[in-house]
Amino acid sequence: MSEPFLIGDAMTGGYGKGPDILHECTISANKGEIAVIVGPNGAGKSTAMKAVFGMLNVHGGSVRLDGEDITKLSPQERVVKGMGFVPQTSNIFTSMTVEENLEMGAFIRTDDFSDTLMQIYDLFPILKEKRFQAAGELSGGQRQQVAVGRALMTQPKVLMLDEPTAGVSPIVMDELFDRIIEVARTGIPILMVEQNARQALEIADKAYVLVQGRNAHTGTGKELLADEEVRRSFLGG
């Protein structure tokens, strides 16, 4: 099997000098794929994603993007390498307008990014409508669209989302998932942490169930949905 486009391979590590949270945890995503990390509270889902993004101390294993070892790079350097990251909270500039948020997303680009801006407005029409409004005045679902749009402005090679549907209503959640599928269809691999396991597994090409920082189950979304043990322990029967 060829190497996945983005892979966090057998990562072991924790925050700062604290104890290890991840133990030989492997996460990967391929082009055009949506990879989802699910698991119970405190399983290290967000931690695993942050490890891939370089926000914690990984002392075992490695992270590779397109075959290049990026384990030692800082998060900022990884953004330059083509990783887009949407944090779970405080993921927009609340006092700035929607358009300014997107412009700041493209800060590292020195070329003309108006095309990308138009693409993002096509993808999220509501943002075009509210482009001159302060992002902090938008609803939860719209804020998440701003956050994803901001991360897409660098034209990343891979997009990572940390619980994009946290705190939004079920209807908005479905809409966000639709948008995320649309982004994946453009060929960008998506790595996503999700709290709403069932819905996330339904759209996942590949899914990881983590328990206590270890890979517990891995497979396609459908396989895991059908897996008796996964259903019993995480999906409530």
Partner 1 sequence: MDFLNAIVAFSNYVLVPGAAYGAQLALGALGVTLIYGILRFSNFAHGDTMAFGTAMTIIITNGLLALGITFGPLPTALLALPFGIAATCLLVLFTDKLVYKFYRKQKAAPVILVIVSMGVMFIMNGVVRFVIGVRDIRFTDGERFIISARDFKEMTGLKEGLAIKTTQGITVVVAIFVVIVLFWFLNKTRTGKSMRAFSDNEDLALLSGINPEKVVMVTWMIVAALATTAGVLYGLDKSFKAFTYFQLLLPIFASAIVGGLGSPLGAIAGGFVIAFSEVTITYAFKKVLVYLMPDSLEPTGLVQLLSTDYKFAVSFTILIIVLLFKPTGLFKGKSV
What is the spatial distance between Cα 213 and Cα 233, in angstroms, rounded to a whole number? 16
Report in angstroms how near the CB of residue 116 gets to partner 1 at its nearest.
14
Size, binding site for partner 1 by CB under 8 A: 21
CB 160 within 8 A of CB 191: yes
Nearest residue to 93 (alpha-carbon basis) of 150, 142, 140: 150
Torsion angles phi and psi, residue 82, rounded to 5: 115, 25
Taking the complex as a whole, how short is the minimal distance between the CB of residue 226 and partner 1, in angstroms? 37
Residue 156 in the binding site for partner 1 (CB under 8 A): no
Max alpha carbon distance in the chain (Å)?
A: 52
Output the smallest distance, CB 147 to partner 1, in A: 9
Of the residues 107, 122, 139, 169, which one makes contact with partner 1 according to CB under 8 A = 107
In sequence order, which residues have a C-beta less than 8 Å from that of residue 43 and are 6 or more positions away? 210, 211, 212, 213
Per rule CB under 8 A, is residue 113 in the interface with partner 1?
no
**Does residue 90 bind partner 1 (CB under 8 A)?**
yes
Task: Examine residue 169 and tell whether it contacts partner 1 (CB under 8 A).
Answer: no
Separation of alpha carbons 151 and 118, rounded Å: 15
Q: How many whole angstroms from its chain centre is CA 232?
A: 26
- The single residue among 93, 124, 177, 208 that binds partner 1, judged by CB under 8 A, is 93
Q: Quote the least distance from Cβ 230 to partner 1, whole Å.
A: 33
**Site residues (vs partner 1, CB under 8 A):** 75-76, 79-80, 85, 87, 90-96, 100, 103-105, 107-108, 150, 154
